């Protein structure tokens, strides 16, 4: 299966549109990672960690740097692992990370000329099987 790359800013903006600033609190007009990190939002700490991990795992030098599927899902997997391993698991935050993972899987499998997946009820076709991405445990 061929995956398409996205840039970090574009991805954060699409996540913000899809899940809303009430949940994420991302600043899509930011000029740096620090400015983009949420100051508020229901899941601020988780989103903060998620953005930092995706940025660092992809070795981004700027918000417009390209991110790829493997490092992005390594970052989400690490975060999901940390949430599951915590003494008290935040089930809502874990569910959000899994929903974000599903959405990113859709984004990475789109044709380059598509900017955003269609609504949830439409289908996105990929090669032979549907795109199911499971998080990997951290290395």
Taking the mean position of all CA atoms in its chain, how far away is CA 17?
12
Q: What is the model's pLDDT at position 3?
A: 63
What torsion do the CA atoms of 64, 45, 117, 29 make, to the nearest 10 degrees?
-40
Alpha carbon distance 80, 77 (integer Å): 5
Q: Is the pLDDT assigned to residue 129 strictly greater than 60?
A: no
Structure tokens of 58? 């992809």
Question: Residue 76 contacts by C-beta under 8 Å, 6 or more apart in sequence?
Answer: 50, 53, 54, 97, 100, 101, 104, 135
Alpha carbon distance 9, 55 (integer Å): 10
Place of tokens 């959405």: 103
Q: Where are the domains of the chain?
A: 6-109
Q: What is the model's pLDDT at position 50?
A: 92
Q: 54 vs 49, 51, 66, 101, CA distance in Å?
A: 9, 5, 11, 12
Summarised one tens digit per residue, pLDDT across range 88-125 is: 878 888 999 999 999 999 988 865 555 554 444 433 33
Closest alpha carbon to 9 in 35, 45, 44: 35
Summarised one tens digit per residue, pLDDT across range 48-81 is: 899 999 999 999 999 999 999 999 999 999 999 9
């Amino acid at each position: 299966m061929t995956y398409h790359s996205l840039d970090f800013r574009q991805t954060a903006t699409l996540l913000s549109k899809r899940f809303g600033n009430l949940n994420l609190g991302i600043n899509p007009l930011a000029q740096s990672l620090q400015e983009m990190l949420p100051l508020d939002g229901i899941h601020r700490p988780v989103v903060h960690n998620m953005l930092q991990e995706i940025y660092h795992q992809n070795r981004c030098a700027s918000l417009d740097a390209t991110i790829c599927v493997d490092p992005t899902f390594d970052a989400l997997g690490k975060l999901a692992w940390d949430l599951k391993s915590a003494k008290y698991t935040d089930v809502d935050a874990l569910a959000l990370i899994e929903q974000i993972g599903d959405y990113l899987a859709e984004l990475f499998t789109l044709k380059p000329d598509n900017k955003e997946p269609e609504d949830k009820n439409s289908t996105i076709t990929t090669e032979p099987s549907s795109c199911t991405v499971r998080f990997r445990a951290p290395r």
